[in-house]
C-alpha cells in the first residue's frame, strides 16, 4: 500500500454506469411492506427485494388494462382451486 494516494482526478458515483432502464429514486414505504418483501426473498433463497417490488408493481399496472370480466373470472378460478 502506498503512503499517499492522489484522488485529484477521482469522480463520484458508481464505478460502472447504470443501465438506462432503471431510475434511482428515494421513496418511503411502510416497514411492514418492505419486511414482507424481504422475507419472501429470504424464503426463496436470496435475490433482491427491490426487484420483487418492481415486479409486483409491474404486474399491478398490467392488470389495470384487463377487462373487469377477465379479472373476475381469474379471481373466481383461483378461489375455486383454493376451496378444493
pLDDT given at position 34: 95
First to last CA, the chain: 67
pLDDT digit string, tens, across residues 56-78: 999 888 888 888 888 889 899 99
Q: Report the C-alpha gap between 62 and 69 in whole angstroms.
A: 15
HSE (CB half, 13 Å, CA atoms) of 83? 6
pLDDT score for 67: 86
Taking the complete model, does pTM exceed 0.75, yes or no? no
CB 49 within 8 A of CB 37: yes
Amino acid at each position: 500500500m502506498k503512503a499517499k494516494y492522489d484522488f485529484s482526478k477521482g469522480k463520484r458515483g458508481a464505478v460502472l454506469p447504470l443501465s438506462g432502464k432503471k431510475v434511482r429514486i428515494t421513496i418511503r414505504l411502510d416497514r411492514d411492506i418492505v419486511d414482507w418483501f424481504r422475507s419472501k426473498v429470504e424464503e426463496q433463497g436470496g435475490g433482491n427485494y427491490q426487484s420483487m417490488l418492481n415486479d409486483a408493481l409491474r404486474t399491478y399496472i398490467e392488470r389495470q388494462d384487463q377487462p373487469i370480466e377477465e379479472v373476475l373470472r381469474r379471481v373466481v378460478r383461483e378461489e375455486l382451486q383454493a376451496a378444493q
